[in-house]
Structure 1
Amino acid sequence: MRNSDITDVTIVGGGPAGLYASFYSGMRDLSTRIIEYQPKLGGKVHVYPEKMIWDVGGLTPVTGATLIDQMAEQAVTFDPEIVLNEKVTKIEKNEDQLFVLTSNSGNQYVSRTVILAVGGGILNPIKIDIEGADRFEVTNLHYTVQSLEHFKGKNIIISGGGNSAIDWANEFEPIANQVHIVHRKNEFKGHEAQIQQLMNSSVHVHLNSTIEKLHANQEGNLIDAVSIHNHEINESIRLETDDLIINYGYERELTFIKESPLHIEIENDFFVKGTSKSASSVEGLYAAGDILAFDGKVHLIAGAFVDAANAVNQAKLLLEPDAAAKARVSSHNAKFNAKNKELLKHLYQSSS
């Protein structure tokens, strides 16, 4: 076990809210640390790296992967400490009223303030409940989609009935050879326009149906067919496939927040109940992004950025009561003078 240096701000979560909080914290001259459970920064955006994101203000449409790269680059502008592959399991205060965050590895991180930016919590995909299915996860059983190109010209089966499953079926329809979508209920649950697009496409829809068996190839390392049972008419069919995608949603884990001895106030058994300025019920503990709940909350990436800035500003005022209420805008902020000169220099050189 190691005890870390004390930082002004520790951010739990490396998704959009956490990454912007890191940037803004550095802009406010606060020593900063990010702790991220996954081996890389980006948060839930990694679930849809090839999807186009349109609704970040001032940013033309970019893929999820590009947005991650840009957010991560911005986040390290002021050299925060980045800790990856660490799962926070406990958050408490010591005798000096400093926050102590303990990880699953036994490491402890000490901080004057904390920003919870864990999004939907640690997301573990809900897996298909068929014995032996896990052996295909290294080949052609998928719980996320990292590359559309991988599925080009293939026969694909998607199991699920929510927005993500419908969206992937629509994405694959023009590039795959054949797409089947299997849903256990008699109607889909998703955005009306997406459902209409699906029902008017060439995707084969199997409602009131569930996957009952996976058939392996001769070598036993690939799924080459799936048996689907229609429980409404009590009939089963076998479909050949190259890839099987399961989209049953995610199990969310937020134990360290719910069971904290700090008694963090929770809303609807999941969200951190806070204020429009990102404060929680515990002094010095803030939240940003999807984990934060308050009246008027905006569940967009752009909203996560606002939450993050508010959280950092509140942390700054707690640590330095005489500080300005917010950072000076970047266009007039002296912290960027040297960086701007360097950027302009490269701009002029490339245009000449």
Structure 2
Amino acid sequence: MKSNIKVSIAGVGNCASALVQGVQYYRLTNDATGVTFKEINGYSISDIKFTAAFDVDARKVGKDLAEAIFTPPNNALKIIDVDKTGVIVKPGPLLDGIAPELAGSHIPVVEAKVDDVVKELESTNSEILINYLPTGAQKASEAYAEAALRAGVGFVNAMPSQIATVEQWQARFTKAGLPLLGDDIQNQLGATVLHKTIMHLLSLRGLKVVGTYQLNVGGTPDFLNLNYRKGQKEKTKTAAVKKMVKEQDFDAYITPVAHVGFLGGRKRAHMFIEAQGFAGVPVKIEVSLEVHDPWNNAGVMVDVLRLMKVALDRGVAGPIYSVAAWAFKNPPMHAPPDEAYNWLIEFIEGKRDN
């Protein structure tokens, strides 16, 4: 009999809200809408159990996770009431977890030490720790990665902070016998994966890319944070798209441009691609996309968590290249979406070690 997947969360923001709500939704229904894999090696979404949660926002700390996910400034779409989880949100290390422009007056802060996180992970028998900290929180992300190592917990870096792509962290998780996934989760049908797919198609069909851009606006707190710290996000998204077109050099600019409050949990993306086809004749593509960003994220995370559990069951240590290529914008090893999907299936079927 399969056991529960014991998951802890660092950063109780909109993505955590959608994930917790989503697990409750699929636990209560037989609906498989929007689910890539109903089961992964016997694990269903309802097997995900939340065991610990950490934040530095005083408005969330001390509350049950089911209440904290709906506490402002969170504004993810609410689709379901969530039962009390018994998980009380604990403070975590602050470091660079909040942009200086937002600390204090915008976000009341309470913090703790890495040692406290380690104790909580150990006492709750957590197996996996998700890093959902804001973009730009490199030092804070590293602190949680350190806590995961010390507590013997697998680590999922859902944010642009560089962890899974860094050789030092790869080596340490491998030595500890723990799986590591990241960096920067790729949403179920987000602007990045859609942009990548179009670029890959152009390459397959023999077109030359002249240039491309992607501009994003949204109403989530993450977009407010990106007003001040968008460098990592620009870098990972741009690199992910450019890697889909091999042996071509072209201009690419992909960036979040503004926080638009009335959009709430929605994100709007505009993509433009200019290319040259047969005989150099120009081709221009424009795409607009609107999604509920946190839910787009959760649609992939429920698969990532089950794949991490499979890795733990098998004793896989270090980066899981196949899963990362499919599920993350900045994985240790890039691949076009179709190729990454094939790698993923091979991993699930036990034909790939990582």
Q: Which has the higher strand share?
A: 1
Structure with the largest fraction of helix: 2
Q: Could you say whether these structures have the same fold, taking a TM-score greater than 0.5 normalized by the shorter chain as the test? A: no
The structure with the larger Rg is 1
